[in-house]
Amino acid sequence: MIPAAFDYVAPTSLDEALQALGSGDDVKVIAGGQSLLPILRMRLNAPERLVDLGRIEELRGVSEEGDSLVIGAMTTYSDVLDSDLVRQHAALLHKAIREVADPQIRHRGTVGGALVHADPAGDVGAPALALDAELVVAGPGGERTVAAGDFFRDLFETAVGEGELLTRIRIPKHTGWGAHYEKFVRVAHQWSIVAVGATVRVDGRTIAEARVGLTNMGSTPLRATAVEQALVGKPATEEAVREACAAAAEGTNPPSDLNGDADYRRHLATVLTRRAVLTAAGA
Amino acid sequence: MTVTEQPAQAPEVGRARLRKEDARLITGRTRWTDNIVLPGMQHLAMVRSPFAHARITGLDASAAKSAPGVVAVLTGADVKDVQGALPNAWPASDDQKTPAHPSIAVDEVAFAGEVVAVVIARSAAAARDAAELVDVDYEELPPALELKAAAADEVLAHPDLGTNVSAVWTFDSQEKGTGGSADEAIAAARADGVVIEREYRQQRLIPAFMEPRSVVCDPTGEQLTVWTSTQVPHFVRIFVAAVLGIPESKVRVIAPDVGGGFGGKLQFTPEEVITVLAARHTGKPCKYTETRSESLLSGHHGRDQWQRLTLAATRDGRVTGLKVELLADMGAYLGLVTSFIPMLGALMYNGIYKLPAYHFTCTNVLTNKTWTDAYRGAGRPEATFAIERLMDELAAELGMDALEVREKNWITHEEFPFHTVAGVTYDSGNYEAATARARELFDYEALRREQRERRDRKDPVQLGIGVSTFTEMCGLAPSRWMGEQRYAAGGWEHAEVRMLPTGKVEVVTGTSPHGQGHETAWSQIAADRLGVPFEDVEVLHGDTAIAPRGLDTYGSRSLAVGGQAVVMAADRVVEKAKPLAAHMLEAAVDDLEFTGGRFAVRGTDKGATIQEVVWAAFTSHDLPEGMVPTLDAEATYDPDNFSFPHGTHLCAVEVDTETGQVRMRRYVSVDDVGVVVNPLIVAGQMHGGLVQGIAQALWEEAVYDEQGTLVTGSFVDYTLPTAADTISFVNDNTVTPAVGTALGAKGVGEAGTIASTPAVVNAVVDALRPLGIHDVQMPCTPERVWNAIRSAGENQAEPTTQQAQEHFEPGAPNQDPTAGHAGTPEKGAGQ
Ligand SMILES: Cc1cc2nc3c(=O)[nH]c(=O)nc-3n(C[C@H](O)[C@H](O)[C@H](O)COP(=O)(O)OP(=O)(O)OC[C@H]3O[C@@H](n4cnc5c(N)ncnc54)[C@H](O)[C@@H]3O)c2cc1C
């Protein structure tokens, strides 16, 4: 598995990176390489030049910005897992990332790479969506901010255009919210067949607010808004949650493949949503 | 001469020694074939057909030939007169239809992945780049894919053969005089007994060894040297000679360290031929190392059968007859032993039971898929699955306990040797003892109780218990038997023990380890027989110039056959040493006794160590009349029967009826592999074997689409389990020594794989039986289990209570607390 030959540059600043990106037609960004390298090695793609973002310090790390957390695009999964800020204020993202692949891949793969790669079975998109993340995209003409809901366009397609870079992810703090990411796989190292990320704010025994994101239930991550609404004001009990989650698969368009057909995935989504919400609510 | 009494040494056989080869194998600081770099070495890249069945109508390699770094491109047209045909060494019938099997396709391709050209270049990258430039025109032909349709000759895989049926093989106990008529038994049972009729699918599997295959060929010497990641260097030598018309004496084959095989490297491959052709064509060393994708696509696959089974029994649970009708998918070609793999199980469908009547037919069918061949267990997992699933079905049908129905039918330990309905003689065994021990370790009664409770409270997580009381025939040898079955070679094994002047020992074995730990086990055996320290023994293997005689490693044969050869050769060394020792000690040979590495004159304190005798032989200053100055000895062993390990495996699974997910809860195996040379190695073989068998039950399947493209062409889709997917197993052994060898060891390499698959599926079905479910096709994926539950309809367990979560704690290790008592490893010296 040898990729076709390519040029390689490793800029140390965002500006240089943007310049390098604009330097030709067939230029591709490489972050952790955990999705891109398999593609290159299987020769499914053969860009002329790779721009490695690995040496740009400003793209790395987790910080606070008022009511939000800011995660640099080049922050690795394992950096996120080590971050108390993420654990405290975006517990859902933390829990989801725990379920990504294995330690080797988590030491290389980045949050930004995962979001831009936009694999519908990836585990970062649904939590980002559920947490109302905003994505900061830089291009030759400056920066713009895209809401997660507008970011994912289709299979492997996002709002990041030619010559643009994702620089950071801003997530409103969900401090004190319970969270759970229920990932369904056949073998441990697999991509999600279906996964559900739920985060809830419980007031006494009542669910005050809920956010639910679905992984691999369509060509992009999806938000189960009907379930979110149905949960508000409900007691965090098995029965009430079951009822509210019954509609989890509504409006989804899951794939059919070796791991299950679309009907089975719809069924799973309902079961997993109930389990995720109940666990998130500490019930 | 020193006369101090030597301390009695604890025997090496039975010690849980850490494997001496592990440090180099695990770190990779060793000679894997791909690590070999020779001066001027060139690299190969294969161009493979994307189509399952097509005619090659044009091939333009000019762009590739003029690409940077390219030395040459060889196509089928270039080599058709010199490449010969790949061998099939074990035909299933005298009139078997065998498609011609070129290494590089000439006019037609018969499976997706078949090689159509090879690029030879100065670097691996240049070869790969140029391979993309080879332009092949194909005219697609309809592919024969699905096994049953192919058997009906709807589409022909090789139109020139006129049929897809390659051979039909039959065994009839009435005709052979080993039992009655299965048809009559079934008719009788239809009248006033029980008949269980089932159809089971043995899905196609991929061996998925860790080290992808690699070949290096150096043509620049008087002998052509081939390094290859193979289980069978001796076979490869013969076939390089026979297929390419090179004198065998001009060929040396080396299997350096080899990273797993599982039968997948029991083959003579197109890539081996092509690498030799490329090296001879260019006159320079060439290397080919496959990618993981190529390995999954074009290394041979395993299993792939449909089994139609009819079991007859009396109402009180005595089995009276079994009829087996198989369809076996050969794939596109007949590899080394492709055609006989199903028959390696044919004599075992009776399992451990006293069956009075048995009939077996297998139809070998050609299709346009990767060819199948040996994969861990080879024919025997399929047989064991069939009979062990049927015994559970019979128990269910009669409302009996699964163990009780087995006990009613199995051969009791007093009845050995036992002549089975399949015409085989089981030498030894004790099924009662293994089962009793397994029951105890498993806590069978408690789990049955828990199962009842879960059923009563309609828990969404149901518990199932599966049984597999298996035996297998391994130690693939009896040359005479193999000859009777049309096999092209024999099954003996050879060893040489070389006593070095300084007292160190070289054991040369004809077996060819690829991860099993032979170096450790063979050292233990030799150390005991010769009374030398374990550390003083070196085991040499896998090089036809060093170990010229041997028949290699597969079929759980190495210890049972090759280990016995080591015993015999070592004993001959001692015999040879005796006259010299007697001469040195001025005693008669008959007055000597040999213990703990020392020849002693009985009744005196006079003695000489074997090292002293070896030195005396080396110096040859004072040898007895007529003695040659060496104590080295060789031995060849050809047993007259197989070895029959057996065991009782008990498996508990939890089935989440809401999602169909199956989780292992407890797994106990009590195996009788005869005398255990190294408990740690046996435990390792059991663990790996179990996971591989469980993987067939739950996880793995090679899937092709309607065009004949392998969909599971990477580990993203071919879902190989890892340690995270299994639990800690509880393994124990009973010991009934194999009859007829000094070693008393039976094979263990395949036992775990053979036994575990039915245990797991029986457990899954057992969990779901109250819903009216009596089968789930393998692999029992969550979707299949859920579909079975859904279509079972009404009786379904009430949806959910929260207890469901308890056993499915995300991230919980899901381990059996009593596990892991397989013996404390001892540190191997010299590490
Ligand atoms: C064996 C294996 C198992 C895996 N299992 C899982 C799993 O279970 N769940 C899961 O979610 N993921 C899984 N992954 C994928 C992993 O999460 C990847 O790391 C991730 O999808 C991509 O991140 P990366 O940093 O490696 O990106 P890269 O592979 O470097 O890049 C991916 C794509 O994003 C683009 N890109 C990267 N960064 C930027 C940026 N800042 N701006 C613009 N474009 C950018 C690249 O050009 C490329 O197209 C697995 C990967 C492997 C190899």
* 244-263 in chain A: CB under 8 A from chain B: 258-261
The model carries a pTM of: 0.94
ipTM attached to this prediction: 0.96
Rounded to a whole number of angstroms, the CA Rg of chain A reads 19
Report residues whose beta carbon is within 6 angstroms of any ligand 1 atom. Answer: A 28-36, 38, 53, 73, 100-101, 105, 108-110, 112-114, 116-117, 119, 122-124, 160, 165-166, 191
Which residues in chain B have Cβ-Cβ distances shorter than 8 Å to A195? none
Which residues in chain B have Cβ-Cβ distances shorter than 8 Å to A101? none
The reply to whether residue B782 touches residue A184, judged by beta carbons under 8 angstroms, is yes
The tens digit of pLDDT for each residue in A219-240 reads 999 999 999 999 999 999 999 9
Ligand 1, atom 11, residue with closest C-alpha: A122
Residue B207, preceding peptide bond in cis (omega within 30° of 0)? no
Q: Are residues A133 and A78 in the same domain?
A: yes
Indicate which CATH number applies to the domain containing A30. 3.30.43.10
- Whether A199 maps to a domain, the answer reads yes
Same fold for the domain at B22-27+492-637 and the one at B424-474+643-796? yes
Please tell me the predicted confidence (pLDDT) of residue B8.
57
Closest chain B residue to A272, measured at CA: B659
Please tell me the predicted confidence (pLDDT) of residue A19.
96
- Whether A250 maps to a domain, the answer reads yes
Indicate whether B660 pLDDT > 90: yes
The tens digit of pLDDT for each residue in B563-577 reads 999 999 999 999 999
Q: Are residues A75 and A31 in the same domain?
A: no
Residue length, chain B?
831
Indicate whether B812 pLDDT > 80: no
The reply to whether residue B725 touches residue A187, judged by beta carbons under 8 angstroms, is yes
Pick the last residue of a domain from A141, A172, A203: A172
Q: Are residues A135 and A97 in the same domain?
A: yes
The reply to whether residue A238 touches residue B786, judged by beta carbons under 8 angstroms, is no
Instruction: Please give the Cα distance from B795 to B180 (Å, whole number).
Output: 42
For chain B, the structural domain boundaries read 22-27+492-637, 424-474+643-796
Question: Is B350 within 8 Å of B322 (Cβ atoms)?
Answer: yes
CB-based contact, A39 to chain B, within 8 Å:
no
Indicate whether B10 pLDDT > 90: no
Question: Is B211 within 8 Å of B258 (Cβ atoms)?
Answer: yes
Is A91 exposed, middle or buried (CB count within 10 Å of its CB: 0-12, 13-18, 19+)?
buried
Question: Is B751 within 8 Å of B647 (Cβ atoms)?
Answer: yes
**Among B535, B544, B379, B561, which Cα is nearest to B472's?**
B379
What element of type H or E holds B147?
Answer: helix B147-151
Indicate whether B492 pLDDT > 50: yes
Which residues in chain B have Cβ-Cβ distances shorter than 8 Å to A271? 658-659
What is the pLDDT confidence band of residue B807, given thresholds at 50, 70 and 90? very low
**Among B671, B654, B657, which Cα is nearest to B807's?**
B654
Q: Are residues A165 and A260 in the same domain?
A: no
- Whether A195 maps to a domain, the answer reads yes
Please tell me the predicted confidence (pLDDT) of residue A25.
85
CA dihedral for B219, B222, B227, B230, sign (positive or negative): positive
3-state secondary structure of A70: strand
Bridge partners for B464 per DSSP: B653
Indicate whether A12 pLDDT > 70: yes
The reply to whether residue B783 touches residue A260, judged by beta carbons under 8 angstroms, is yes
Question: Is A40 within 8 Å of A48 (Cβ atoms)?
Answer: no
3-state secondary structure of A138: strand
The tens digit of pLDDT for each residue in A55-105 reads 999 999 999 999 999 999 999 999 999 999 999 999 999 999 999 999 999
In CATH, the architecture of B22-27+492-637 is 2-Layer Sandwich (3.30)
Please tell me the predicted confidence (pLDDT) of residue B477.
82
Hey, what are B505's tokens?
């020992």
Q: Are residues A32 and A75 in the same domain?
A: no
Q: Are residues A28 and A127 in the same domain?
A: no
Question: Is A252 within 8 Å of A269 (Cβ atoms)?
Answer: yes
Pick the last residue of a domain from A142, A172, A202: A172
- How many other CB atoms are there within 10 angstroms of residue B325's CB atom? 15
Which residues in chain B have Cβ-Cβ distances shorter than 8 Å to A4? 129, 132
Ligand 1 pocket: which of A18, A21, A36 to mutate (most atoms within 8 A of CB): A36
Q: A174 alpha carbon to ligand 1 midpoint, in Å?
A: 25
Ligand 1, atom 5, residue with closest C-alpha: A101
| Segment B230-237 mean pLDDT | 98
Question: Is B563 within 8 Å of B677 (Cβ atoms)?
Answer: yes
In chain B, count H helices and then E strands: 22, 28
How many domains is chain A built from? 3
3-state secondary structure of A243: helix
Instruction: Please give the Cα distance from B435 to B385 (Å, whole number).
Output: 18
The reply to whether residue B782 touches residue A4, judged by beta carbons under 8 angstroms, is no
Share of chain B above pLDDT 70, in %: 94
Q: What is the DSSP letter of B176?
A: H
The whole-angstrom distance between residue B788's C-alpha and the CA centroid of its chain comes to 32
What is the pLDDT confidence band of residue B99, given thresholds at 50, 70 and 90? very high
Q: What is the largest CA-CA distance in chain B?
A: 91
Mutate to test the interface with B, among A42, A193, A258 (most CBs of B within 10 A): A258
| Phi–psi pair at A139, nearest 5 degrees | -145, -175
- Whether A1 maps to a domain, the answer reads no
Please tell me the predicted confidence (pLDDT) of residue A61.
98
Indicate whether B821 pLDDT > 70: no
Q: Are residues A165 and A219 in the same domain?
A: no
| Segment A157-162 mean pLDDT | 96
| Segment A183-196 mean pLDDT | 96
Q: Are residues A123 and A200 in the same domain?
A: no
Residue B702 Cα distances to B104, B206, B294, B644, B719, angstroms? 24, 7, 14, 30, 9
Is B245 exposed, middle or buried (CB count within 10 Å of its CB: 0-12, 13-18, 19+)?
exposed
Mutate to test the interface with B, among A264, A265, A267, A277 (most CBs of B within 10 A): A264
Please tell me the predicted confidence (pLDDT) of residue B793.
72
Indicate whether B820 pLDDT > 90: no
Question: Is A116 within 8 Å of A156 (Cβ atoms)?
Answer: no
Q: Are residues A212 and A186 in the same domain?
A: yes
Mutate to test the interface with B, among A189, A242, A270 (most CBs of B within 10 A): A189
| Segment B743-755 mean pLDDT | 94
Indicate whether B640 pLDDT > 60: yes
What is the domain extent for residue A18? Answer: 7-52
The reply to whether residue A260 touches residue B802, judged by beta carbons under 8 angstroms, is no
Share of chain A above pLDDT 70, in %: 100
Q: Are residues A72 and A107 in the same domain?
A: yes
Instruction: Please give the Cα distance from A44 to A36 (Å, whole number).
Output: 10
List of residues 6+ apart from B292 with CB closer than 8 A = A1, B212, B714, B715
Indicate whether B795 pLDDT > 60: no
CB-based contact, A46 to chain B, within 8 Å:
no
Question: Is A280 within 8 Å of A180 (Cβ atoms)?
Answer: yes
Q: A93 alpha carbon to ligand 1 midpoint, in Å?
A: 16
Question: Is B743 within 8 Å of B559 (Cβ atoms)?
Answer: yes
The reply to whether residue A264 touches residue B787, judged by beta carbons under 8 angstroms, is yes
The reply to whether residue A267 touches residue B810, judged by beta carbons under 8 angstroms, is no
Residue B737, preceding peptide bond in cis (omega within 30° of 0)? no
Q: Are residues A90 and A146 in the same domain?
A: yes
User: Mean pLDDT in chain B?
Assistant: 94
In CATH, the architecture of B424-474+643-796 is 2-Layer Sandwich (3.30)
Q: From the list A4, A187, A264, which residue is nearest B786 (CB)? A: A264
Ligand 1, atom 53, residue with closest C-alpha: A34
Pick the last residue of a domain from A149, A172, A195: A172
Q: Are residues A150 and A74 in the same domain?
A: yes
